[in-house]
Amino acid sequence: MSKFTFANIRLFLVFSITAFLNIDLQAQEEKESSFSISGTVDAYFRANFNGLNKTAYDDNGDPLYDAAAPASSFANDPGFAIGMANVILGYEGDKVGFVADLVFGPRGEDAVFLSTGSPAIVNQLYVYYNLSDNVKLTFGNFNTFLGYEVISPAANFNYSTSYMFSYGPFSHTGLKADFTIDENWSAMLAVMNPTDYTEFNPIGKYTFGGQLGYANDAGSAYLNLIYGEQSLSDDALFQVDLTTGWNLSDSFYLGFNGTYQTTDGEGFAGAAIYPQLSTSDSFAIGLRAEYFNELSDGEGLVYGADANTTAFTLTGSYTYGNLMIKPELRLDSVDGAAPFVDSDLMMQDNLSSFLVAAIYSF
């Protein structure tokens, strides 16, 4: 009897210690993992100084011209307008995690323009697995690694976007591997659907991507590449892109983006500099000076074959807590085309405009 009781006590102690260790390990794991909700809400007012500010109709009441706007993405509507509500759900564990990035509103709809078969609200949707301290795998839909600018208005200094950003790509769906080489150097390799086909692959062809990066306390530089067939034709898209930015002093930052994209002789090339000066903890002013050249044997991508565009965007950024107010002046000028319409319904080769945006981050 006593032997049986002792055995039971010993078994009870073993189970108790095991349960205690399991609870302790679970508690440690919970401390190491976290669930987060973040995002942005933005709206703006926009007006042209020398362009049409409303839709023009013909004698039959049919739309003849829309309000004049640059052929770049987002922030192109006249008057008071909304951007998007962006809600990002994330889980970060010791080894695994996920991101579900949802967008609602015109800016979000433009960002996921090739999504089909759904309400088109998914901006990013991926899971990741840290194979080691130096290797991370990401599987799903993620925003592009090319370019200086991004979809989120809170992550860009300028509220309106550049031509280089607007003509791509926006997002990819596939598998990528990020490698940490040392404390400064990194690399990435990816296999993906054709660019911006985010929900599935409709043509059965794939695009390959790569990145080499260098970063230190003063700034960073990234060389990006993609290559692959984007349609049922046999013509492959090739794009090379350099993005870099450096803090030259405590108050002055200088960024640069250069890109070249071609598909069988058609595509674009561009470059932009981004000088930014912080005048206080709450206010900064920045310029985007961009040159954009269309390369085409046919109709061209934006304003016509071989059109050259220069765009100067001067933006102020005032921060109060989680709220940013951004007044912005923009001048677009096109050599070789007259794509803008003025208030007299005459075509012209330049457009000057003003906007002020409010962005709240949470």
Instruction: Identify whether residues 295 and 208 lie together within a single domain.
Output: yes
Give the helix/strand (H/E) hosting 196. Answer: none
Question: 276 and 156 share a domain?
Answer: yes
Residues 6+ apart with CB under 8 A from 335: 307, 308, 309, 310, 349
94 & 233 share domain: yes
Instruction: Tell whether 151 and 175 lie within a shared domain.
Output: yes
Q: Residue 13's domain spans which residues?
A: 1-32
Domain shared by 194 and 243, yes or no: yes
For residue 290, give both structure tokens. 């961009």
Look up the CATH number of the domain holding residue 342: 2.40.160.10
Q: Amino acid identity, residue 75?
A: A
Q: List the chain pLDDT tens, one digit each, 362 residues.
A: 433 344 444 443 444 444 444 544 444 444 467 999 999 999 999 999 999 999 999 888 888 899 999 999 899 999 999 999 999 999 999 899 999 999 999 999 888 887 765 667 999 999 999 999 999 999 999 999 999 999 999 999 999 999 999 988 999 999 999 999 999 999 999 999 998 888 899 889 999 999 999 999 999 999 999 999 988 776 899 999 999 999 999 999 999 999 999 988 788 999 999 999 999 999 999 999 999 998 876 555 678 777 899 999 999 999 999 999 999 999 999 998 899 999 999 999 999 999 999 999 99
Instruction: Examine the domain organization and report whether 25 and 103 are in the same domain.
Output: no
Decide: helix, strand or coil at residue 108.
helix
Q: Are 134 and 215 contained in the same domain?
A: yes
- Whether residues 15 and 115 fall in one domain: no
Do 254 and 280 fall into the same domain?
Answer: yes
Q: Are residues 14 and 88 in the same domain?
A: no
Domain co-membership, 24 together with 168? no
The residue among 59, 57, 58 whose CA lies nearest residue 67 is 57
Domains of the chain: total: 2
Q: Which residues contact 9 (CB under 8 A, 6 or more apart)?
A: none
One domain for residues 1 and 101: no
β-pair partners for 256:
244, 273
